[in-house]
Amino acid sequence: MCGIWALFGSDECLSMQCLSAMKIAHRGPDAFRFENVNGFTNCCFGFHRLAVVDQLYGMQPIRVKKFPYLWLCYNGEIYNFKQLQKQFGFDFQTLVDGEVILHLYNRGGIEQTASMLDGVFAFILLDTANRKVFLARDTYGVRPLFKVLTDDGFLGVCSEAKGLINLKHSTSLCSKVEPFLPGHYEVLDLKPSGKVASVELVKFHSCKDEPLHVACDTVEALPSGFDLETVKSNIRILFENAVRKRLMAHRRIGCLLSGGLDSSLVAAVLLKLMKEININYPLQTFAIGMENSPDLLAARKVAAHIGSEHHEVILNTEEGIQAIEEVIFSLETYDITTIRASIGMYLVSKYIRKKTDSVVIFSGEGSDELTQGYIYFHKAPSPEEAAEESERLLKELYLFDVLRADRTTAAHGLELRVPFLDHRFTSYYLSLPAELRIPKNGIEKYLLRLSFEDSNLLPKEILWRPKEAFSDGIASVKKSWFSILQDYIDQQVDDLLLEKAVEKYPFNPPKTKESYYYRQIFEKHYSGRSSWLPHYWMPRWVKATDPSARTLKHYKSATQE
């Protein structure tokens, strides 16, 4: 996990512009480099490093003797770099996984490069010999990327939008900062002036398609067919493989553990594999919640079952409320459910950074979208519509849960790993018949739970624990976290302000005081950027006015049964 930043064709003094690069310093606390491009005095790269792989030669932009005309700045991990090196006979100069991007590009161009990378990534690749700039981002946007491109060809690229919004160009601020779309690459021509012109934006991978890099995966062809035992076995094999490949790190590995199915499965498989490869330190797991909250109690059970070194962070209401503004600044969104869920994740990440030496943090993001884990999936009109909704949620992850998971951990210099969003695992799961993937017997994620039922990885009551939103599970059963927030905010926003919300904020107007409060803070830091959020996250097929699962009729806490 790092912070990348680059400018092409800047009319302003670069030493002033580079102050913007410092806005993402939290993403790489170990080192910083600012480098001009030879022959292009108005082009430069900025890089903040979190050293996870090859601590000696991992600084960026990466340049190797074999390709002196290539410059690479990337944020991510390429899990199959050794397999690609072996398959194509690449001669590496460093131990950095990202070096494989240079070799792939030299061998087969940008299309093959982006398609063959098994991992999470956002990168800027400059080819001065052919005067091209390439941008690319992984399928689900696990690693963030933003860009601004003006009409006269000034390009700014950064891991977070906050590193671009104050750039100066022709005496004005750059207005159109936007997220770079996941699963895409862009080709731009580099002119002698350092300015660029976009040539094409190409979608190189869709979540349903089996990725090209399967050809050099460590797990070979799986049994075909949709009989239940084959499917369950394939799910276990691919999920375990997804966790195994993410063990690539020279820094200590930890795991977030809410006690829900997803994080518990990740933690259990992770610990099992760490033992198998003789990692000689205990796995640290981390839970956050108020005293005796459902998440804390469930996480305690899981940690005892798997034998992790468990840490509990007790959340008090005042601390959570005080964190709201810095959380919104980190997130760059005003989405209601994203902010609610981010407060706990932000504070547990803060604890990990201050109190432990774990840096590479595993988490369960992506499972709810992939395996139909949200409560409202019980109301889907048909298996086919549920499958379509699952795909829609996966495509929008970069706006919601993946955004939350990246920003809350990156704010504290941690690197996130999300095995549920492994390309091969997700494409296999989405290839299964729609009927197999829907909730059954009143239980969401039925197929995933069933696949691990006989594994003894988790206690039965955890394996079959009902869905609990992270923002609710950290609070007591008597009072949800969202209602605690609403009670506080009710005193902060006047009724008259809410009545005039549509006039003040015509795009995505706030409909509640809570929503208005978040929007005010967002506009304070990112005025006029409301289009970064196309729409609020809300459940479908139900008459919901609030995104919390606890407001839905289906929801029933285990302690209320």
Binding residues for ATP: 256, 288, 363-364
Which positions ≥6 away from 385 have C-beta within 8 Å? none
Instruction: Tell me the Ramachandran region of residue 230: left when phi exceeds 0, alpha when psi lies from -120 to 50, beta otherwise.
Output: alpha
Q: Which residues are annotated as a binding site?
A: 97, 256, 288, 363-364
CA 534 to chain centre: 18
Q: Which residues are annotated as a binding site for L-glutamine?
A: 97
Determine the Cα–Cα distance for residues 353 and 550; give it in Å rounded to an integer. Answer: 31
Structure token pair of residue 337: 């459910």
| Residue ranges with strand state E in 117-263 | 119-127, 132-137, 146-149, 155-158, 168-169, 172-173, 177-179, 184-190, 196-203, 252-256
Structure token pair of residue 192: 């002698």
| Amino acid found at 172 | S
The answer to whether 2 is a known catalytic residue is yes
Main-chain dihedrals φ then ψ at residue 476, nearest 5 degrees: -75, 165
* Helices of type H across 216-323: 228-245, 261-276, 294-306, 317-322
What's the DSSP call for residue 159?
S
Which positions ≥6 away from 361 have C-beta within 8 Å? 253, 254, 255, 256, 286, 349, 352, 409, 414, 415, 416, 417
Of the candidates 2, 158, 174, 207, the residue annotated as catalytic is 2
Convert 509-534 into a string of H (helix), E (strand) and C (coil): CCCCHHHHHHHHHHHHHCCCCHHHCC
C-alpha closest to that of 524 among 496, 502, 505: 505
Active site residues: 2
